[in-house]
């Protein structure tokens, strides 16, 4: 809600309205009132020493991102930078927290995964295809430098921000841990479309669920031996098939250990409605009708009966093993205790012990 300049100056006496305008956080409307240009909100977490296997404790931060759909009129801009939402916090709660020398945040957005990685990783590389997203991440890192134990004059010693698509910015490098909330939303492709037509925060530009399939196949290439990757994703479920069949096909012959947990399954109709609402495309009736029809036609062209959503854990074995590596597929659609990262870690440790002590 726009406020008077005097009220803003009184609430923020150090930076004042003039400082907020200079940073691009607010603007003055025609009536002279001060209106927000971005979302700036507190974000924090607490943990006992060692509770996340890193002994790092928690943090209290301020995090900026673009205004959400309900905070602004019209359809979202295509280079919209998403704030902290359910998907990003799900990945935070799912990630197994252990000390790592080098970690990768693939598709950093406003930087939430990087904030957490900094508390148990010596160095974090954060990538995104959006220059605007990297600018938000850099702003948030500088804004919270003290809480994140960063030197603003030497940011590169702890964090590297890189522009590029998927794994291109880190080709030839390896990491102990990769986390990613990738732009996995299945979106109908059209002839002659340009990248500027795509919502970069959710649309990876590939048909169907190819972006998730591509990452499952290629992420092990940037993992150090014994390194792990954790991500969120969608997968299409063709009519007459089990939900796990398609994800399993991505692993065939890879030697990668995997654990897929399906948390939700929806119809093509509900999927289309969800993501059209997400970008406020319903505010343009013709756009909504055309896009909805395109979604259903796209899914029908591949005989898709449902779409699954869930969590993916991958590990590159310490050394190659004969045959296919262990792969686990579970469906858990009921509420579960959070965070689940420690539970996943314990389950992996038990499986490793059994594997090492095979009777």
Q: What is the pLDDT of residues 253-263, one digit of tens each?
A: 889 999 999 99
Asked whether residue 224 falls in the same domain as residue 331, the answer is yes
Q: Has residue 54 got a pLDDT over 60? A: no
Domain ranges, residue 348: 40-356
Asked whether residue 203 falls in the same domain as residue 249, the answer is yes
d(CA 358, CA 245): 28
Q: How many domains are there within the chain?
A: 2
> How many C-beta atoms lie closer than 10 Å to residue 170's C-beta?
20
d(CA 4, CA 35): 9
Asked whether residue 97 falls in the same domain as residue 196, the answer is yes
Asked whether residue 324 falls in the same domain as residue 283, the answer is yes
Asked whether residue 206 falls in the same domain as residue 349, the answer is yes
Q: Has residue 10 got a pLDDT over 80? A: yes
- List the CATH number of the domain containing 124: 3.40.50.150
Asked whether residue 255 falls in the same domain as residue 299, the answer is yes
Asked whether residue 6 falls in the same domain as residue 55, the answer is no
Q: For the chain, state the CA radius of gyration.
A: 22
Q: What is the pLDDT of residues 235-271, one digit of tens each?
A: 999 999 999 999 999 998 889 999 999 999 999 999 9
Task: Tell which wins on pLDDT, 358 or 162.
Answer: 162
**Partners of 42 in beta bridges:** 62
Q: What is the pLDDT of residues 170-220, one digit of tens each?
A: 999 999 999 999 989 999 988 777 766 778 777 888 889 999 999 999 999
Using DSSP's 3-state secondary structure scheme, residue 329 falls into strand
d(CA 110, CA 132): 9
Question: Which pLDDT does position 56 carry in this prediction?
Answer: 53
Asked whether residue 26 falls in the same domain as residue 118, the answer is no
Asked whether residue 334 falls in the same domain as residue 234, the answer is yes
Asked whether residue 21 falls in the same domain as residue 83, the answer is no
Mean of pLDDT over the chain: 91
d(CA 237, CA 308): 7
Residue 96 and residue 345 in contact, taking contact as beta carbons nearer than 8 Å: yes
Asked whether residue 291 falls in the same domain as residue 228, the answer is yes
d(CA 235, CA 231): 13
Q: What is the pLDDT of residues 132-171, one digit of tens each?
A: 999 999 999 999 999 999 999 999 999 999 999 999 999 9
Asked whether residue 266 falls in the same domain as residue 332, the answer is yes
């Amino acid at each position: 809600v726009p406020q008077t300049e005097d009220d803003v100056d009184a609430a923020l006496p150090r930076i004042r309205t003039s400082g907020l305008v200079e940073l691009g956080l607010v603007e003055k409307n025609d009536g002279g009132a001060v209106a927000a240009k971005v979302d700036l909100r507190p974000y924090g977490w607490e943990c006992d020493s060692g509770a996340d296997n890193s002994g790092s404790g928690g943090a209290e931060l301020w995090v900026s991102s673009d205004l959400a759909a309900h905070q602004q009129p019209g359809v979202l801009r295509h280079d919209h930078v998403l704030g902290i939402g359910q998907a990003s916090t799900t990945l935070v709660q799912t990630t197994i927290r252990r000390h790592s020398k080098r970690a990768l945040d693939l598709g950093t957005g406003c930087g939430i995964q990087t904030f957490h990685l900094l508390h148990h990783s010596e160095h974090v590389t954060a990538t995104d295809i959006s220059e605007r997203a990297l600018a938000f991440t850099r702003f948030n890192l500088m804004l919270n430098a003290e809480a994140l134990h960063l030197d603003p004059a030497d940011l590169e010693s702890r964090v590297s921000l890189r522009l590029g698509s998927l794994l291109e910015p880190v080709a030839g490098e390896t990491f102990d841990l990769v986390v990613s909330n990738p732009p996995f939303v299945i979106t109908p492709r059209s002839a002659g479309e340009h990248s500027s037509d795509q919502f970069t925060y959710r649309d990876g530009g590939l048909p169907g669920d190819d972006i998730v399939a591509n990452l499952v196949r290629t992420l092990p290439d940037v993992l150090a031996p014994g390194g792990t990757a954790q991500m969120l994703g969608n997968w299409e479920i063709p009519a007459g098939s089990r939900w796990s069949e398609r994800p399993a096909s991505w692993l065939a012959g890879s030697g990668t250990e995997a654990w897929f947990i399906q948390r939700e399954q929806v119809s093509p109709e509900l999927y289309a409605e969800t993501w059209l609402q997400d970008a406020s495309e319903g505010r343009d009736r013709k756009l909504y009708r055309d896009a909805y029809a395109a979604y259903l036609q796209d899914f029908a062209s591949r005989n898709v009966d449902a779409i699954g959503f869930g969590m993916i854990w991958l590990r590159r074995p310490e050394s190659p093993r004969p045959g296919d590596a262990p792969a686990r597929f579970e469906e858990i659609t009921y509420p579960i205790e959070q965070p689940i990262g420690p539970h996943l870690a314990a389950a992996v440790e038990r499986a490793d012990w059994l594997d090492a002590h095979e009777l």
